[in-house]
Structure 1
Amino acid sequence: MQRRYGCRAMMLETVAAVPGMVGGMLLHLRSLRRFEQSGGWIRALLEEAENERMHLMTFMEVAQPRWYERALVIAVQGVFFNAYFFGYLISPKFAHRVVGYLEEEAVHSYTEFLKDLDDGKIDNVPAPAIAIDYWRLPANATLKDVVTVVRADEAHHRDVNHFASDVYYQGMQLKATPAPIGYH
């Protein structure tokens, strides 16, 4: 069961690590073309991408994926990157809304993960060192502590992306609204 959740989290994070990078990159290029500020959105989206990358790196430590699971990560990421890139070019509003819903699914998945940890269905093993360092957790932190902070990150990402979609929906560009505060 622990390995299954670790692999599920790894696949979720493989997809989740893409949108912030794509959105940040495309806003960066637009900012350069138009000689305008982004209101902090470039930084916010790139911070989201980095945060999701750290989720992936953490769950790679937890799941200890086999070679074919690592290959699947690469394939899923390659397909999703290209699909999301073109989707963002067509409709940033829709792209952010989709990410908001993906992040909602991640919150739900991590809530289930926590429930199984609480019920003893999954061993509450020591947290990986990468997680302790990144989230500045206590040295004796456990997997439950990691899943708790990751779930909080995902809830924040959900809210940021729904807000970004709402801003686009109102006919404003992301640069017109200050970006949300960082992730940790």
Structure 2
Amino acid sequence: MMMSSRASGSVLLRRLAPPLLSGSPVRFRSTATEGEKRKREEEVDPVTAGGENTGSTVASYWGIGPSKLVKEDGNEWKWSCFKPWDTYKGNMDIDLKKHHVANTLRDKLAFWAVKVLRVPTDVFPQRKYGCRAMMLETVAAVPGMVGGVVLHLRSLRRFEHSGGWIRTLLEEAENERMHLMTLMEVFNPQWYERALVLAVQGAFFNAYFLGYLISPKFAHRVVGYLEEEAVHSYTLFLEALDAGEVENVPAPAIAIDYWRLPPNATLRDVVLVIRADEAHHRDVNHYASDIQYHGKQLKEVPAPVG
């Protein structure tokens, strides 16, 4: 007898479920009781049943409801955009003044391209810190995804490994996106800022994709300079917080869980860990542009760890 699609999906999901890492600082378990499970099974999905939406639907995939996770303190894990095993403590061992001197024509073009990209973030001086940070993150989250996709497709076409660079670049993109999700909790973007993001991201994505196809070294140099700009911008952000120009509000709950910050963390603590992330992205991308391994391509040189 052939297995139904729902049953086959159940087997597939059980096989693909992420393993529980031993020693993880966050414990998680299912909190659903037998009564709740029976009640969930008895609920009718109004979409599949064609009935009226009563608002009592359960988010599921192939009829399998999401597992409920809890933290060490017993509180329910409420984030769907990242899981407990994605969290980490920020590495604050960074060099704030590190800068790659643009000696070649390619590097100079990359440097001035980033300077041009900075112009839109200074359009609204009355909201320069929050707006600049969000604008930087909407742009900074693009290169890792583009580079990861290009290397992924190249790996498939050529039947070869990527040296770990696909995972490195996609993790960079996800980390930058989490920066934006965190800042959104503090600074609510206005409609004109959202419109500016649409314009900048639309132009930057296509330009960066084309640039990566032509010269990955140039593309990574652009990101290296972009991250240098981000480190500088977050340093100014910290100075504004210390001077009282920006209120040092409590850190958003999403930031506390993502970076494993203390419960009494503030916006200043969040900016510190974001700046550290940007500094590490800066170093990785400058390294990606610098490496020469007997003439081999980026995909054949192992990605840096950490």
Instruction: Report TM bin, short chain.
Output: over 0.9
2:135 corresponds to 1:15: no
Unaligned ranges ≥5, structure 1: none
Which structure 2 segments of 5+ residues have no match? 1-124
SS of the residue corresponding to residue 63 of structure 1 reads coil
Q: Which amino acid aligns with 2:262?
A: P
SS at match of 2:269: helix
Cα pair 2:165 2:299 within 8 Å, conserved: yes
Partner residue of 2:207? 83
1:52 corresponds to which residue? Answer: 176
**1:141 Cα deviation after fit:** 1.0
The one of 263, 277, 287 equivalent to 1:163 is: 287
Counterpart for residue 148 of structure 2: 24
Secondary structure of the 1:122 match is coil
Q: Higher RCO, 1 or 2 (CA under 8 Å, sep at least 6)? A: 1
Runs of 4+ in 1 over 4 A off after TM superposition: none
Which residue number corresponds to residue 81 of structure 2? none
State the match for 2:255 in structure 1. Answer: 131
Residue 53 of structure 2 is matched in structure 1 by none
Residue 128 of structure 2: aligned partner: 4
Alignment of 1:58-137 (within 5 A): 58-137=182-261
Measure, in 1, the Cα distance between the counterparts of 2:292 and 2:214: 13
Q: Shift in Å at residue 169 of structure 1?
A: 8.8
Per-residue CA deviations over 1:113-145 (Å, capped at 9, x if unaligned) read 111212222211111122112112112111101
Shift of 1:79: 1.1
Q: For 2:251 and 2:173, how far apart are their aligned partners in 1?
A: 22
Q: CA RMSD in A?
A: 1.7
Deviation at 1:78, TM superposition (A): 1.3
Query: What residue in structure 2 maps to residue 148 of structure 1?
Result: 272
CA distance in 1, matches of 2:293, 2:213: 15
Q: Return the TM-score normalized by structure 1.
A: 0.93
Relative to total residues, which structure has the larger helix share, 1 or 2? 1
Q: Find the structure with the greater CA-based Rg.
A: 2
| Counterpart-to-counterpart distance in 2, 1:73 and 1:139 | 32
Identity of aligned residues (%): 82
Question: Given the two structures, how large is their TM-score scaled by the length of structure 2?
Answer: 0.57
Over 3 Å counting, the alpha-carbon distance change for 1:129 and 1:170 in structure 2 is farther
- The one-letter code of the counterpart of 1:12 is L
d(CA) in 1 for partners of 2:208 and 2:197? 16
Q: 1:124 to 1:178 in 2, by over 3 A?
A: same
Alignment check: 8 A CA contact 2:161 2:300 kept: no
CA distance in 2, matches of 1:168, 1:99: 18
Shift of 1:2: 8.6
Q: State the AA in 1 paired with 2:257.
A: D
Distance in 2 (CA, whole Å) between partners of 1:2 and 1:59 is: 17
